[in-house]
Amino acid sequence: MDHGANQIQKEDAATVVRNQRLGLKLFAAYAITYFLFIVCCMTSPGLLQATPLWGISNSVVFGFGLIFLAIAIALIYGLACRGSGGVSSQSEHGTEPDATSESHS
């Protein structure tokens, strides 16, 4: 277990922006799906009770679907960010502002 001095690997600004854009797109896709599910719960109880897949009610299918979708999105994001280059090192905690909000400083 290494709890010694912190070693920061800082991704370059272009990588940060690229990751952030991808993250926001995936976030938007998940948020829309999640809120469609909420609307469905409120307005279409009949749809939730229907059993079109394997004799299992849609409420279970949609619920499991949202959980597995979250895991899938997390993995996709992780893989897509893996190829990011431009890593530099520094020896202590960074508190630099983001590429998106540099106007603060």
Partner 1 sequence: MIYEVNYTAVTVFTLIVGLTLWLSVYLAKSATSASGFFAASGGIHWFVNGVAFAGDYLSAASFLGICGMIAFYGYDGFLYSIGYLAGWIVALLVVAEPLKRRGKYTFADALDSAFQSRAIRLSASMSTLVVSVFYLIPQMVGAGALVQPLFGLPHWVGVTMVGAVVVAIVMTAGMVSTTYVQFLKGGLLVFFSLILTILILQRGFTVVPESERAARLADQVREETPDGRILINGLPQGRGPGETDLRPVGEVLELPDGATATGPVGPLEFFRVLQGSTIALWRGKTVDKKTTYTATPTAGSEILRPGNLPALKGIRSEKWADRLNFVSLMLALFCGTAALPHILIRYYTVKDQASARKSTIVGIATIGFFYVLTLYLGIGAMTSGAMDVSDNNMAAPLLARSFSNLLFALISAVAFTTVLGTVSGLIIAASGAVAHDVVPIVTGKPLDDRSKIRVAKISALVVGLIAIGLGIAFQKMNVNYLVGWAFSVAASANLPALIMVLFWSRATWQGITASIMVGMLSALAWILLSGDTFRDVYGMPADQSWIPFSQPGIVTIPLSFVTLIMVSLLTYKPANPVRR
List of residues contacting partner 1 (CB under 8 A): 1-11, 16, 19-20, 23-24, 26-27, 30-31, 34, 37-38, 41-42, 45, 48-49, 51, 54-57, 59-60, 63-64, 66-68, 70-71, 73-75, 77-78, 81, 87, 93-98, 100-105
Tokens read off for 34:
């999640």
Question: Judged by CB, which is closer to partner 1: 14, or 68?
Answer: 68
Q: What's the min distance (Å) between Cβ of 14 and partner 1?
A: 14
Query: Do 21 and 28 contact (CB within 8 A), yes or no?
Result: no
The CA-based dihedral angle spanning residues 22, 27, 29, 34, taken in that order and rounded to the nearest 10 degrees:
170
CA distance 79 to 82: 5
At its nearest, how many Å lie between partner 1 and the CB of residue 100?
Answer: 6
Q: State the sign of the Cα–Cα–Cα–Cα dihedral 94, 97, 99, 102.
A: negative
Structural contact between residues 11 and 84, judged by C-beta atoms closer than 8 angstroms: yes
Least distance (Å) from partner 1 to the CB of residue 74? 4
Least distance in Å: CB of 36 to partner 1? 12
